[in-house]
């Protein structure tokens, strides 16, 4: 068993319009999962699925290939932790009981290789944006979720398709802005929990900054960057998975263990 720990977010695997680009993205991700077999842990920090909602006796079958290979990774001995994002917040018992992944709350702390690591998807961490945060509180309300479970899957996923496209068009135009804004406030705002590391997703631009012994990281996405973060031997590496199925290191933040 390797002591490698990986962090990924925002793969946005589709449940509609499975075109050639989507198939290639899935194939690349599956090769990556094979590459990291035997790793200690994999953290999936939200928006792995472009939409996920479980009914009592069904789950989104469009993701069977991704789920199958994630389970193979788990069978290799890798613990898998997952948190919902703004597209797949509604993770349920299929993920926890059948897949045997650990579903994390929206914000959680982990002691990893001598570091105190805070992880979150990050959509609720952006400064301001009150309208968005209010909307999230509404659609994550237990009563609303119960009502959604009474809607026919075709209608619910049809609505999700429209919402997903609109959301991506809007957030895509603001990626650089939010990456810069969040990085600017990171040192002051994201180390309040006795953590020395803060890792988030949501913003589709990979960023890693160090503030002394503290590390701030935005994971980026798998739609353009195929980016990930690796922790090994107490050191962080930000990388990207290339077309040949190999890994190259873009940047390293290496500090002594706490």
Instruction: Look up residue 114 and give its two tokens.
Output: 């001598």
Tell me which residue has tokens 């925002």: 10
Average pLDDT over residues 52-67: 78
Confidence of residue 223 (pLDDT cuts 50, 70, 90): confident
Q: What is the mean pLDDT of the chain?
A: 83
- Which pTM does this prediction carry? 0.84
- Give pLDDT tens digits for 229-239: 999 999 999 99
Domains of the chain: 5-254 (3.60.21.10)
DSSP state for residue 201 in the 8-state scheme: -
- Residue 30: its pLDDT value, please? 95
Residue 170: strand, helix, or coil? helix
Average pLDDT over residues 244-255: 51
Q: Are 100 and 60 in contact (CB under 8 A)?
A: no
Q: Are 124 and 106 in contact (CB under 8 A)?
A: yes
Determine how β-strand 197-200 pairs with β-strand 115-120. parallel
- Give pLDDT tens digits for 131-178: 555 555 555 556 555 665 566 566 656 566 656 655 555 556 688 999
Question: What is the biggest distance separating any 2 CA atoms in the chain, rounded to whole angstroms?
Answer: 53
- Residue 245: its pLDDT value, please? 45
Give DSSP secondary structure letters for 42-100: EEEES-SBS--B--SS---GGGHHHHHHHHHHHHTT-EEEEE--SSS-B--HIIIIIS-
Q: Within 13 Å of residue 154, how many CA atoms lie on the same side as its CB? A: 0
If 0-12 CB within 10 Å is exposed, 13-18 middle and 19+ buried, where does residue 97 land? Answer: exposed
């Amino acid at each position: 068993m390797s002591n490698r720990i990986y962090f990924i977010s925002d793969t946005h695997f589709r449940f509609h319009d499975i075109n050639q680009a989507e198939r290639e993205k899935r194939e690349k991700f599956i090769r990556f999962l094979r590459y990291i077999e035997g790793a200690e842990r994999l953290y999936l920090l939200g928006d792995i699925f472009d939409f996920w909602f479980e009914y009592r006796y069904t789950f989104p079958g469009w993701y069977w290939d991704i789920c199958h290979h994630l389970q193979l990774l788990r069978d290799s001995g890798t613990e898998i932790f997952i948190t919902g994002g703004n597209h797949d917040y509604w993770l349920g018992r299929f993920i926890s009981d059948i897949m045997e992944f650990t579903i994390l709350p929206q914000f959680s702390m982990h002691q990893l290789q001598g570091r105190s690591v805070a992880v979150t998807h990050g959509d609720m961490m952006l400064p301001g944006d009150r309208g968005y945060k209010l909307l999230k509180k509404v659609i994550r309300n237990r009563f609303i979720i119960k009502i959604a479970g009474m809607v026919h899957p075709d209608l619910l996923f049809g609505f999700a398709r429209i919402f997903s496209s609109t959301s991506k068009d809007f957030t895509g135009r603001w990626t650089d802005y939010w990456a810069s804004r969040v990085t600017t406030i990171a040192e002051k705002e994201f180390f309040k929990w006795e953590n020395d590391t803060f890792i988030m997703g949501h913003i589709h631009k990979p960023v890693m900054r160090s503030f002394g012994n503290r590390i701030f990281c935005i994971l980026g996405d798998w739609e353009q960057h195929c980016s990930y973060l690796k922790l090994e031997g107490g050191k962080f590496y930000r990388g990207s998975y290339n077309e040949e199925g190999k890994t190259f290191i873009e940047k390293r933040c290496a500090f002594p263990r706490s």
